[in-house]
Amino acid sequence: MTINLTVENQGDRLDIWLSNQLTDISRSRIQKLIEQGNITLNNEVCPNKKIKLKIGDRLQVNIPEPQPLELQPEPIPLDILYEDEQLIIINKSANLVVHPAPGHETGTLVHALLYHCSNLAGIGGGQRPGIVHRLDKDTTGAIVVAKTDFAHQNLQFQIKNRTAKREYLGIIYGVLNNKEDENNRDKGMINLPIGRHPVDRKRMAVVPREKPGREAVTYWEIIERLGYYSLVKFILETGRTHQIRVHSSYFGNPIVGDPLYSNNRSLKMNLSGQALHAHKLTLTHPITSEKIEAIAPLPDEFIKLLNYLRQKQ
């Protein structure tokens, strides 16, 4: 399919202008079309998404036929919290990788979704169809997946602009302490940039912005003290890789069972991973604008750990 466009008003950079004109196509897909040479500007291929457009510029957008996914659907059971024609919200189990990656070419959430949703192919990208945001492999709980290109673009916008609310429950070592507010020490905000660890490339770390670190903001509140442990509610304002895990460990309060950031601390319980659960996801429906609140019940292992720590006090 070919779309011809003419810039009639003062233009913005190429990818932004196109995303405003072609509202049924996500910006990430438009950027991919640019990279692949599918956009011509004044009869010349334009591979630069940042080029500024001028009044009178003529654009041709070539949208190739969707290529069949190499991924094969797999009949992996899904715990569905909400579903309609636009989106699906899953209560992700532990030890389930969200999308294919080196070492995890099969058995991912994406493979399960392709089996469950026949029209998911091509939404948002070849290896990550429909994926709006991620959860770490061993982090459980609510994750939303788009089933149409419009929903994918809309939900990504909500995540980026922080209108979608993501609330987690985690069990940490020790007690977080808001030293800046003597009257309210049990809740606070962590605003520390996060980037790749300078030595261990598998880990993230709090690093200066010039390293470079990206803005990372986490709100926290202690829900229950459990002796030397605490049950904490975390609310993400940003969504950096391992954000809650990095912010907690930075203050010496890593998530219990975290294989990367807990410094080999252990309990007498065998845990499958970090005790971190995406408990509540609140967003606006892309079509109806209604508020959707999905609550993922705590997994059995999390409940077992809570009961163990309560009895241990």
Q: Enumerate the active-site residues.
A: 136
Strand order of the β-sheet with 39-41 is: 2-6, 58-62, 39-41, 44-45
H or E, element range at 15: helix 14-21
SS3 assignment, position 92: strand
**CB contact set of 84 (below 8 Å; sequence gap of 6+):** none
Quote the CA–CA distance of 265 and 27 in Å, as a whole number: 43
Strand ranges inside the chain, DSSP E:
2-6, 39-41, 44-45, 58-62, 80-83, 87-92, 140-146, 165-173, 187-191, 194-196, 204-206, 217-226, 229-236, 276-284, 291-295
Helix, strand, coil % in the chain, rounded to nearest 5: 20, 30, 50
Tokens matching residue 139: 């982090």
